[in-house]
Structure 1
Amino acid sequence: MIKKDIDKRGGILLEALPYIKKFWSKIIVIKYGGSAMKDKNLEKQILKDIILLKYVGMKPVIVHGGGSEISEEMKKRNKTPQFINGLRVTDEETMDIIEMVLIGKINTRLVAEINLPISEGPGNGVKGIGLSGEDAQLLTVKKHQISELGLVGEVENINPEILMILLEKNYIPVIATVGVDKEGVRYNINADTVAAQIAISLQAEKLIFLTDVDGIFKDSSCPSTIINSLDINKTKELIELGCVQKGMLPKVEAAIQALQGGVKKIHLLNGKCPHSILLEVFTDSGIGTEIIY
């Protein structure tokens, strides 16, 4: 290996050092979903990156969605997915499908990957544990104000106790976004909103949204107009101007809620970009869009 390559690699490690020190023992909440979930090789790489955060002293918490896999399962059962304002209309049969896919399929898959032995998978001995909002009253919800949505809930209360216990015992919690109301009725909940509320309840250092695009743009048709850093007022202004649209809108609205609730910083990253989490957390230039208060 030539000296130039050695110096470059050494420089990368040294660049990461102050960030490792700064974020030691800090809680990092990661919302995982979208297109990155469709590519299983990419999924393994994302989990490796999250596990690296754990090994350098951070406390990652994963909140996952699974919209595309839910829609695929619905179509197999001859049910047509319907949405109102980006939220899935959820009857009892759809709720059963959501639970099966989120808890029985995706959540168990992610946890199994994290827990694979050192020689077989990304986990390298790290312990992952799966949860849903039904566990230890983690997510108490109320019925959404749009009654036509059916069994869609809004977060009413977070009980972070179980998460704090697991983090202290060095587990990586992996949370499926199903919750219950005070009568025990199960509800589907928007994963972006859950991630924000979980981050608030834990007073997380960072909330990272893995999205399908590189970040927020001044002009969505021009990638060169990506905005690297925003404060909360400028973010609200961009929403009013229509620069934040479609699937990015609920993430940005959740980001604003998280900042107002005490979360230090929000990152919107393209989950399809290799090692996007590591590039954002451990490098000076970062990647994607960050939002601060």
Structure 2
Amino acid sequence: MWGDTMKISNADRARVLVQALPYIQKYTGKTIVVKYGGNAMVNEGLKKAVMSDIVLMQLVGINVVLVHGGGPEISSMLKKVGKESRFVRGMRVTDGETMEIVQMVLAGKVNKDLVQLLERHNGRAIGLCGLDGGMLMAEKLSGAEDLGYVGEITEVHTDIITDATANGYVPVIATVAGGSGGEVYNINADIAASRIAAELGAEKLILMTDVRGLLRDKDDEETIIPVVNVSEVPKLQNQGIISGGMIPKVDCCVEAVRRGVGRAHMIDGRIPHSILIELFSDEGIGTMFC
């Protein structure tokens, strides 16, 4: 229905708009945090679709906050300088030199490219990172293996975010954080989006992923679970339905809901306009945590 190339009649267009109206009324004036990453961030067609979705949300009065990653770009830059990327449990091992590159790529190139892209779609955007206004404070992530400058968020200060949305801008946030001793830490973007959404009292957190959502059978996309109550998560983990790389994403959704976010959604960023389908249609998309 939302596809760019699909031809629909005027009557179908009217039905789409009528169906969207109550959702537009529901979310106007509310805050929605979108974590942007995966294939939607590297495929040019999908990238344009996401930007147009965000601009439309902004135009109907939604306070959109865009939190982004940038793993492929960081790996590419490290390769250019002859430095190998190393990961432990899905987290990038970040020594001092790597942290400088992470900060440069995330808060510099990736962040400003997204701001420019939103502006080209006639949106109003401002690029920020966790260092601005002391937005994200962190300490070194503790664990069995030393990951270097990988941080765990200790505080979130949202004044600079709410100032931006109040003035009609989409805050585009790169997830680096400051330490109490002047250190700079690399922060997982899913976790940062979850904590920011909670601190803002957001209506929704939307995590864009490269899968349809939470699947009962990881090899069958038709087994998607559309709604999960956070109380069901331990049982789903024990059954092995939530496993591997899905565990930290689900944990972020659960944490957001437990901290007061209205709903958390894991949606398939490979589908064009997946954000609009989730927000403004009866069908929805992906898996909703409530």
With the length of structure 1 as denominator, give the TM-score of the two structures. Answer: 0.93
Q: Could you tell me which residue of structure 1 aligns to residue 64 of structure 2?
A: 60
Alignment equivalent of 1:221, drawn from 219, 222, 226 = 219
* Cα deviation, residue 167, structure 1: 1.0
Give the alignment of 1:194-273 within 5 angstroms.
194-273=192-271
In structure 2, how many angstroms separate the alpha carbons of the residues matched to 1:107 and 1:84?
A: 25
SS at 1:148's partner residue? coil
Q: Conserved in 1, the CA contact under 8 Å of 2:217 and 2:241?
A: yes
SS at 2:146's partner residue? helix
The reply on whether 1:192 has 2:190 as its aligned counterpart is yes
Q: Could you tell me which residue of structure 1 aligns to residue 5 of structure 2?
A: none
| Letter of the structure 2 residue corresponding to residue 277 of structure 1 | I
Q: Could you tell me which residue of structure 1 aligns to residue 109 of structure 2?
A: 105
SS at 2:9's partner residue? helix
* Cα deviation, residue 132, structure 1: 0.6
| Letter of the structure 2 residue corresponding to residue 100 of structure 1 | M
- Residue deviations 1:6-32 (CA, integer Å, cap 9, x gap): 221111110000000111100000000
In structure 2, how many angstroms separate the alpha carbons of the residues matched to 1:247 and 1:37?
A: 19
Q: Could you tell me which residue of structure 2 aligns to residue 132 of structure 1?
A: 129
Alignment equivalent of 2:289, drawn from 273, 288, 291 = 291
| Letter of the structure 2 residue corresponding to residue 238 of structure 1 | L
- Residue deviations 1:219-254 (CA, integer Å, cap 9, x gap): 001111111111101233222322223332211111
In structure 1, how many angstroms separate the alpha carbons of the residues matched to 2:217 and 2:157?
A: 40
The reply on whether 1:39 has 2:38 as its aligned counterpart is no
Q: Could you tell me which residue of structure 1 aligns to residue 10 of structure 2?
A: 6
Q: Conserved in 1, the CA contact under 8 Å of 2:46 and 2:271?
A: no
SS at 2:154's partner residue? strand
In structure 2, how many angstroms separate the alpha carbons of the residues matched to 1:94 and 1:108?
A: 20
| Letter of the structure 1 residue corresponding to residue 40 of structure 2 | A
| Letter of the structure 1 residue corresponding to residue 248 of structure 2 | P
In structure 2, how many angstroms separate the alpha carbons of the residues matched to 1:242 and 1:86?
A: 19
Q: Could you tell me which residue of structure 2 aligns to residue 15 of structure 1?
A: 19
Q: Could you tell me which residue of structure 1 aligns to residue 34 of structure 2?
A: 30
In structure 2, how many angstroms separate the alpha carbons of the residues matched to 1:23 and 1:213?
A: 26
Q: Could you tell me which residue of structure 2 aligns to residue 70 of structure 1?
A: 74
In structure 2, how many angstroms separate the alpha carbons of the residues matched to 1:76 and 1:23?
A: 44
The reply on whether 1:82 has 2:86 as its aligned counterpart is yes
- Residue deviations 1:91-131 (CA, integer Å, cap 9, x gap): 01110111121111110000011123xxxxx1x2x310011
Alignment equivalent of 2:139, drawn from 119, 137, 142 = 142
In structure 2, how many angstroms separate the alpha carbons of the residues matched to 1:153 and 1:145?
A: 9
In structure 2, how many angstroms separate the alpha carbons of the residues matched to 1:286 and 1:162?
A: 31
In structure 2, how many angstroms separate the alpha carbons of the residues matched to 1:81 and 1:246?
A: 20
* Cα deviation, residue 214, structure 1: 0.6
With the length of structure 2 as denominator, give the TM-score of the two structures. Answer: 0.94
In structure 1, how many angstroms separate the alpha carbons of the residues matched to 2:26 and 2:171?
A: 22
Which runs of 5 or more structure 1 residues have no equivalent in the other structure? Answer: 117-121
* Cα deviation, residue 137, structure 1: 0.2
Between stretches 36-45 and 54-63, larger displacement belongs to 36-45
* Cα deviation, residue 40, structure 1: 2.4
Alignment equivalent of 2:168, drawn from 170, 176, 185 = 170
Over the aligned positions, Cα root-mean-square deviation in angstroms equals 1.2
SS at 2:105's partner residue? helix
- Between the aligned residues of both structures, percent identity stands at 44
Which runs of 5 or more structure 2 residues have no equivalent in the other structure? Answer: 1-7
Count of matched residue pairs? 282
In structure 1, how many angstroms separate the alpha carbons of the residues matched to 2:53 and 2:231?
A: 31
